[in-house]
Amino acid sequence: MAIFPTRYSLLSASAVHEYLQERYLLDDTTCRLLIHNVSDTYLLEGGTTRYIFKIYRDAHRKVEEINGEVELLNTLHAGGASVSYPLPDKDGGYLQAFQAAEGIRYGVLFTYAEGQVYPAMNDEQLLQVGNAMAHIHNLTAGLRLKHHRKPLDFEALVDAPLRIIAPAFSGLATEYRYLHETATRVKRGLQALELSAFSHGYCHYDFLPKNFHLDTNGKVTFFDFDFAGEGYLVNDLASFYVHFFLDVMHKKLTQQEADRQFAVFVKGYRERRPLSEAERASIPYWGFLFWLFYFRFYCENFEDWSNFFFTPRFIKDRVGWMKTWEEWYLG
């Protein structure tokens, strides 16, 4: 009997483990599924050593893009940036191919980011995060990878999201009109700036606390570069500011304290890399577009991940958050 058309398989952890032990010459390890999301993440543990194995979906990331992520992370690691980086197998290759039900899926083994997520950071940790982000930007500013990564330009951040999300807003015309009008206004405002003076390079574009660990010595390690692409580097600072907005909105911080903490982070960033006042002033505008980008992300992964929560109620709630962002930060 022929295999029925499949969109998103889940590979057996025990079979993946057996394969990786052979390809990476691993002994005395265990393997378990950690996350079944837009891709699948497995945790390998052995003694005091841990690894992350990520299996991508072809519908989400093509081989060229995966190679681009590997190239970017190898560049960052070689430059001394603190990132979870890919490990070569016994033959020196990075991508592992699996004949899954839906076709070939590719996986990459990464070092484990030691430490843990700190949703609430002290000033020393904020300085360290700012310093480490600036180090990454020093390495990616002006970088051109051999392998393609999708750009984070206005087409990707405004025009394409507005086209892609439109069907999901059936029956929500008021909400879609608000997004279209506000995003268009934000885009025009940004285009009116002297963007040629803004730093440009490869962005992580999801610099939320969930994507970096801090160890007991305060060392930060960044991971999950799935969104990485070429764009204005200030986008990374804008995505980090989203963390503070959420804390204020959920009454974990006052706006005054959130701004103070963000200023500490910026101080850490500026210790290692310049940030112009024009770039800093533009952060709320890029931040609004980050929310729109995530709407696109939900829509594009609806059948594989977001269908269980991406409902009209969820859409209305998120548009409400974006309205709050506009009222607080865009004036």
Burial of 230 (0-12, 13-18, 19+ CB in 10 A): buried
CA distance 70 to 95: 9
State residue 114's pLDDT score.
96
Burial 305-324 (b: 16+ CB within 10 A, else e): bbeeebeeeebeebbeebee
**Radius of gyration over every alpha carbon of the chain, rounded to an integer in angstroms:** 20
State residue 195's pLDDT score.
98
**Whether the Cβ atoms of residue 60 and residue 39 lie closer than 8 Å to each other:** yes
H or E stretch covering 109: strand 103-111
**Whether the Cβ atoms of residue 21 and residue 36 lie closer than 8 Å to each other:** no
**Whether the Cβ atoms of residue 137 and residue 83 lie closer than 8 Å to each other:** no
State residue 260's pLDDT score.
98
Handedness of CA 94, 97, 98, 100 (dihedral sign): positive
Write out residues in the chain with pLDDT < 70, as ranges. none
Instruction: Specify the DSSP class assigned to residue 43.
Output: E
Burial of 64 (0-12, 13-18, 19+ CB in 10 A): exposed
Alpha helices in the chain (DSSP H): 13-24, 63-78, 123-140, 154, 160-165, 173-191, 234-249, 255-270, 277-281, 283-300, 312-325
H or E stretch covering 214: strand 212-214
